[in-house]
Amino acid sequence: MSLILGIDTSCDDTTAAVVENGTKVLSNIVSNQTEVHKKYGGIVPELASRRHIEMIWPVVDEALKAANIKLEDLSGVAACHGPGLIGSLLVGCSFAKALCYSKGIPLVAVNHLEGHIFSCFLSERGPVGETEFPPRTPSFPFLALIVSGGHTCLYRVDDFGKYRELGRTRDDAAGEAYDKVSKLLGLGYPGGPIIEKIAQDGNPKAIDFPRAYLPESFDFSFSGLKTAVLNFVKEQRAESREQRVNDIAASFQASIIDVLVRKTEWAIKKEGIKRVVLTGGVAANRELRRRMKEMGDEREVEIFTPSASFCTDNAAMIASAGYYHLEAGDTVGLDLNPKAYMPL
């Protein structure tokens, strides 16, 4: 049996998890910093690093206790070494290195985006085949759409370790657009869940916001949409008109979802692949999940959406990817250096 402790501090969540044999989640602890950053409407990197330093040991300790294991039981420690905020990454990596050094445990390094892809193999109930309700996991090859606050990218995944980027955002990530639009509407942070909620009472066809399909590539662009929302709000203020904020939120969300679903559909056609993994923080959005599933049903494509707690940043996904690295003998030394920019 292999027990991996995953650690991810790439952004504003301090996370640690214990995963058995790459799939069974024994614990998954997330300490979020929403309270620290919300008054700024976005993440302040310096504050994020300081908070990680305070939280890393309590979070790791809680992950071990919840899994009912001791450090000595671990087969390895998997640390996320990028991409992300460099000060934040340094906290998790340094902590992981210290643990491995003091206990003589192997260390593996995991790319945050690879972690997001591996979220589709996780199960809280148990490994595939041993459970009453085995989790549905994709076979290779599959497409992976990662939509979060820091990333919006589409990969073709041919095997463990074999990833080909088909497209990425040229400017804002989808989650970043949610956060910025929420801020400009005065709704709060993080924007995604707030906009999703109020959009339920809005008309998605009320305002025809732009959709950047960029038909010549699989890249994405969401900054024009954000500017269009800003201009709309300014204009209606100048003209003393008042569109319901629910309609603005619903129309904005419809634009994002139309683009994500349509581009995934094109990639399915071009690559001839019938399996799609939808993950990352924005993949927690129920309307996006519903629309992607609807498209999948029409095209007879299987859509895999990990549970919301595995879509948003977590360390269980890092431990899962770490398990496969460890099995392949792909360990790293204590000179591991995280990097802010790290393509998969």
State the binding partner of 179 from Zn ion, ligand KG4, none, CB within 5 to 8 A by kind.
ligand KG4
Q: Tell me the window of 19-27, 85-93, 191-199, 334-342 that interacts with ligand KG4 (CB under 6 A).
A: 191-199
Identify residue 170 by its one-letter amino acid code.
R
152 near Zn ion, rule: CB under 5 A:
no
Q: Which of 199, 313, 314, 324 contacts Zn ion by CB under 5 A?
A: 313
118 near ligand KG4, rule: CB under 6 A:
no
State both tokens at 188.
């709060």
- DSSP assignments along 221-251, one per residue: --HHHHHHHHHHHHHHHHTT----HHHHHHH
Q: Which of 179, 252, 325, 326 contacts ligand KG4 by CB under 6 A?
A: 179
State the binding partner of 191 from Zn ion, ligand KG4, none, CB within 5 to 8 A by kind.
ligand KG4
Nearer to Zn ion, 179 or 313 (CB): 313
Instruction: Kindly list the distances between the CA atom of residue 276 and the CA atoms of 20, 110, 120, 145, 156, in Å, as whole numbers in the listed order.
Output: 25, 22, 10, 7, 9
Nearer to ligand KG4, 135 or 149 (CB): 149
Say which DSSP state 44 is in: -
What is the distance between the alpha carbons of residues 119 and 305, in angstroms, rounded to a whole number? 9
Q: Using omega within 30 degrees of 0 as the cis cutoff, is the peptide bond preceding 190 cis?
A: yes
| Category of 98 on φ-ψ map: left (φ > 0), alpha (ψ -120 to 50) or beta | alpha
135 near ligand KG4, rule: CB under 6 A:
no
Nearer to ligand KG4, 190 or 306 (CB): 190
Q: Which of residues 1-40 bind ligand KG4 (CB under 6 A)?
A: 11
Among residues 5, 78, 74, the alpha carbon closest in space to that of 322 is found at: 78
Q: Where are the alpha helices (DSSP H) in 129-172?
A: none
Q: Which of 193, 266, 291, 299 contacts ligand KG4 by CB under 6 A?
A: 193
CB of 68 to ligand KG4, least distance (A): 27
Q: Which of 27, 33, 88, 148 contacts ligand KG4 by CB under 6 A?
A: 148
Neighbours of 176 (CB within 10 A): 23
What is the distance between the alpha carbons of residues 229 and 207, in angstroms, rounded to a whole number? 10
Torsion of CA 223, 114, 82, 51, to 10 degrees: 80
What is the distance between the alpha carbons of residues 322 and 129, in angstroms, rounded to a whole number? 21
114 near Zn ion, rule: CB under 5 A:
no
43 near ligand KG4, rule: CB under 6 A:
no
188 near ligand KG4, rule: CB under 6 A:
no
Q: Which of 119, 255, 305, 312 contacts ligand KG4 by CB under 6 A?
A: 312
196 near Zn ion, rule: CB under 5 A:
no
The answer to whether residues 276 and 304 touch, using CB atoms and an 8 Å cutoff, is yes
Q: What is the dihedral sign for C-alpha 54, 4, 153, 263? A: negative
Nearer to ligand KG4, 261 or 282 (CB): 282
Neighbours of 174 (CB within 10 A): 29
State the binding partner of 149 from ligand KG4, Zn ion, none, CB within 5 to 8 A by kind.
ligand KG4
Q: Tell me the window of 97-105, 184-192, 299-307, 319-327 that interacts with ligand KG4 (CB under 6 A).
A: 184-192
Q: Which of residues 265-284 bind ligand KG4 (CB under 6 A)?
A: 280-282, 284
Q: What is the CA radius of gyration of the chain?
A: 20
Q: Which of 14, 15, 23, 148 contacts Zn ion by CB under 5 A?
A: 148
Site residues for Zn ion per CB under 5 A: 148, 313
Site residues for ligand KG4 per CB under 6 A: 11, 148-150, 175-176, 178-179, 190-193, 196, 280-282, 284-285, 312-313
